[in-house]
Amino acid sequence: MSTPEVAAPVLLRPPANLVSPRARLYWTVRALPLWIVVAAVETIVLLLDDESTAAAATVVAVTAALAIAHLVVMPQWRYRVHRWEITPMAVYTQAGWVRQERRIAPIARIQTVDTTRGPFEQLFGLSNVRVTTASARGPLVIDALGLAVAERTVATLTEQAQLDGGDGT
């Protein structure tokens, strides 16, 4: 009597690949409008205030320090955290910068693979890959890939899903 062959478990683990290095500048540019609006509001308030105080100067200094820290630290941090990987068994993703999330989708569960590119992604030559499965959590998204990498990723996932023969459920 032979024992049935047991498939190796698919484990949740850190993915190996980083996103495109251009993602750092992309994330910085996307964060910049928020700080421009905050600076504009503070400027208007200061111009309307006849008596500028040390407190107002402190608020401006703190805002400037927060903006600079956010615009310098956030993109670097996100670049180190955002990762992805495709194996013959699964797609692995890791995203976030304050709240980090790791997800895994077995190849057999893949239903569709799409790319999306908004105006900013197009400007920076980036693309996002969306892997839809039967999961109630929604699709896995690999953000900020270079165009060629995104196209190869979609082709690889599509081919692997077809070879796997799973029904996506």
* CATH assignment of the domain containing 141: 2.30.29.30
Sheet of 140-146, strands arranged across: 110-116, 126-133, 140-146
What is the number of domains present in the chain?
Answer: 2
Domain that holds residue 105: 84-164
The residue behind tokens 């111009």 is 47
Give pLDDT tens digits for 151-160: 999 999 999 9
Q: What is the CA radius of gyration of the chain?
A: 22
Compute φ and ψ for 77, nearest 5 degrees: -65, -50
Give pLDDT tens digits for 83-93: 999 999 999 99
Residues in a beta bridge with 142: 129
**Does some domain include residue 137?**
yes
**Does some domain include residue 12?**
no
Q: Please, what's the b/e burial string for 78-90 (b: 16 or more CB within 10 A of its CB; e: otherwise)?
A: bbebbbbbbeebb
The residue behind tokens 């023969």 is 165
**Does some domain include residue 65?**
yes
Residues 32 and 63 in one domain: yes
Residues 43 and 102 in one domain: no
The pTM of this model reads 0.83
Mean pLDDT of 12-34: 94
Residues 155 and 108 in one domain: yes
- C-alpha span between 28 and 72 (Å, rounded): 8
Give pLDDT tens digits for 63-112: 999 999 999 999 999 999 999 999 999 999 999 988 999 999 999 999 99
